[in-house]
Amino acid sequence: MKPLKFSISRIFLIHMSLVGVISIFSLGYLWVTSEWSRFEKEANSLRASYLESQKLILKREVNQALDFVNFMKSQTEKRLQDSIKGRVEEAYAIIENIYLKERDIKSTEEIEALIKQALRSLRYNNGRGYYFAFTLEGVETLFEIRPEMEGTNMLQARGGKGEFVVSDMLAVIREDGEGFYNYTWPKPNQQGFFPRIAFVKLFKPIGWVIGSGEYLDYVENDIQEECLQWISNIKFEKDGYVFAGKWDGLGLSGPETGKNLYDIEDINGVKIVQELIKLAKEGGGFVEYVLPRFEGKNHAPKISYAVGVPEWQWYIGSGLYLDEIDTALALKQSELEGRIRKNIRNTTLILFTLLIFIFLIVKLLSDRIHHNIKLFKKFFSKASSDAIKIEGNAIYFYDFVQLAESANDMVENRRRAEKALRESEEKFRMLVEQSPLGISLIGEDGRYKYVSPKFVEVFGYTIDDITTGIEWFNKAFPDDLYRQEVMKAWSDYQRHPQTKRSRLHVYTVTCKDGSQKEINFKPLNIKNQGQLVIYEDIAERSRMEQQLRQAQKMEAIGTLAGGIAHNFNNLMMGIQGRASLMTLELGPSHPQQEHINAIEEQIVSASALTRQLLGLARGGKYEVKPIDISELLLSSAAIIGRTRKDIQIHSNTFPSSLVVEADTRQIEQVFLNIFVNSIQAMPDGGEIYLETSILNLDAAFCKPYAALPGQYVKISVKDTGVGMNKETCQQVFDPFFTTKDKYLGTGLGLASAYGIIKNHGGVITVNSDLGHGTTIFIYLPVSEKTAHIEAHVDDRIIRGSGTILFVDDEDVVIDVGKPMLEKLGYGVIVAKGGKNAVDAVSERGDNIDLVILDLIMPGMDGSGTFDAIREIHPKMPIILSSGYSLKGKATDIMRRGCNAFIQKPFNITELSQLIRKVLDEGKELDQEKLYQ
Q: How confident is the model at residue 235 (pLDDT cuts 50, 70, 90)?
A: confident
Per-residue pLDDT reduced to its tens digit, 173-190: 999 999 999 999 888 778
Q: How confident is the model at residue 741 (pLDDT cuts 50, 70, 90)?
A: low
Q: How confident is the model at residue 502 (pLDDT cuts 50, 70, 90)?
A: very low
Rounded-to-integer distance, Cα 242 and Cα 253, Å: 8
Q: Which residue has the higher pLDDT, 200 or 812?
A: 200
759 CB-near residues (< 8 Å, 6+ apart): 615, 618, 619, 620, 621, 887
Residue length, the chain? 932
Q: Which residue has the higher pLDDT, 7 or 536?
A: 536
Per-residue pLDDT reduced to its tens digit, 820-845: 888 889 999 999 999 999 999 999 88
CB count, 10 Å around CB of 44? Answer: 11
Q: Which of 196-205, 397-406, 856-865 has the lowest mean pLDDT?
A: 397-406
Rounded-to-integer distance, Cα 488 and Cα 717, Å: 42
Q: Which of 611-615, 781-785, 921-925 has the lowest mean pLDDT?
A: 611-615
Peptide bond into 205 cis (omega under 30): no
Which H/E stretch holds residue 320?
strand 314-321
Give the per-residue pLDDT at 240: 81
Q: Which residue has the higher pLDDT, 530 or 931?
A: 530
Work out the widest C-alpha separation in the chain, in whole angstroms: 160
Q: How confident is the model at residue 746 (pLDDT cuts 50, 70, 90)?
A: low
Give the per-residue pLDDT at 219: 80
Q: How confident is the model at residue 618 (pLDDT cuts 50, 70, 90)?
A: very low
pLDDT at 110 over 50: yes
pLDDT at 674 over 80: yes
Q: End-to-end alpha-carbon separation of the chain, Å?
A: 130
Give the per-residue pLDDT at 873: 92
CB 316 within 8 Å of CB 65: yes
pLDDT at 8 over 60: no
Per-residue pLDDT reduced to its tens digit, 9-30: 455 445 555 665 676 667 666 7
Q: How confident is the model at residue 756 (pLDDT cuts 50, 70, 90)?
A: confident
Rounded-to-integer distance, Cα 630 and Cα 411, Å: 81
What are residue 304's phi and psi, to 5 degrees?
-130, 150
Q: How confident is the model at residue 619 (pLDDT cuts 50, 70, 90)?
A: very low
- DSSP-based three-state secondary structure for 459: helix
Torsion of CA 227, 229, 230, 231, to 10 degrees: 80
- DSSP-based three-state secondary structure for 266: coil
Per-residue pLDDT reduced to its tens digit, 55-71: 888 888 888 888 888 88
Burial class (CB in 10 A: 0-12, 13-18, 19+), 618: buried
898 CB-near residues (< 8 Å, 6+ apart): 866, 878, 879, 880
Which H/E stretch holds residue 253?
strand 251-253
Give the per-residue pLDDT at 79: 82
Give the per-residue pLDDT at 691: 94
Give which of 377, 820, 927 is closest to 578, Cα–Cα. Answer: 820
pTM: 0.35
Rounded-to-integer distance, Cα 51 and Cα 288, Å: 11
Mean pLDDT (the chain, rounded)? 79
Helices (H) then strands (E): counts for the chain: 24, 28
Mean of the pLDDT values across residues 509-525?
86
Give the per-residue pLDDT at 617: 47
Most confident of 449-458, 574-583, 584-593, 712-721: 712-721
Q: Which residue has the higher pLDDT, 701 or 742?
A: 701
Burial class (CB in 10 A: 0-12, 13-18, 19+), 37: exposed
User: In this prediction, what percent of the chain has a pLDDT beyond 70?
Assistant: 74
Rounded-to-integer distance, Cα 183 and Cα 157, Å: 12
- DSSP-based three-state secondary structure for 178: strand
Give the per-residue pLDDT at 878: 93
Give the per-residue pLDDT at 737: 65
CB 610 within 8 Å of CB 569: yes
DSSP assigned state of 158: B
Spell out a b/e string for 598-611, using b for 16 or more CB atoms within 10 Å of the CB, else e. eebeebeebbeebb
Give the per-residue pLDDT at 59: 87
Per-residue pLDDT reduced to its tens digit, 384-429: 566 666 666 666 666 666 666 676 667 667 777 777 777 777 777 7
Q: Which residue has the higher pLDDT, 186 or 620?
A: 186
CB count, 10 Å around CB of 700? Answer: 11
Q: Which residue has the higher pLDDT, 699 or 141?
A: 141
Q: How confident is the model at residue 930 (pLDDT cuts 50, 70, 90)?
A: very low
Give the CA count within 13 Å in the CB-facing half-sphere of 173: 24
Rounded-to-integer distance, Cα 119 and Cα 147, Å: 13
CB 31 within 8 Å of CB 343: yes
Most confident of 136-150, 337-351, 541-555: 136-150
What are residue 777's phi and psi, to 5 degrees?
-110, 130
Per-residue pLDDT reduced to its tens digit, 293-329: 765 567 788 888 999 989 888 899 988 887 766 666 6
Per-residue pLDDT reduced to its tens digit, 324-376: 666 666 666 676 667 667 767 776 777 667 667 666 666 665 666 666 666 66
Amino acid at 432: V
List, in sequence order, the alpha helices (H) in 760-861. Answer: 811-823, 834-844
Q: How confident is the model at residue 739 (pLDDT cuts 50, 70, 90)?
A: low
Q: Which residue has the higher pLDDT, 623 or 437?
A: 437
CB 579 within 8 Å of CB 600: yes
Q: How confident is the model at residue 140 (pLDDT cuts 50, 70, 90)?
A: very high
Rounded-to-integer distance, Cα 242 and Cα 257, Å: 12
Give which of 869, 863, 851 is closest to 918, Cα–Cα. Answer: 851
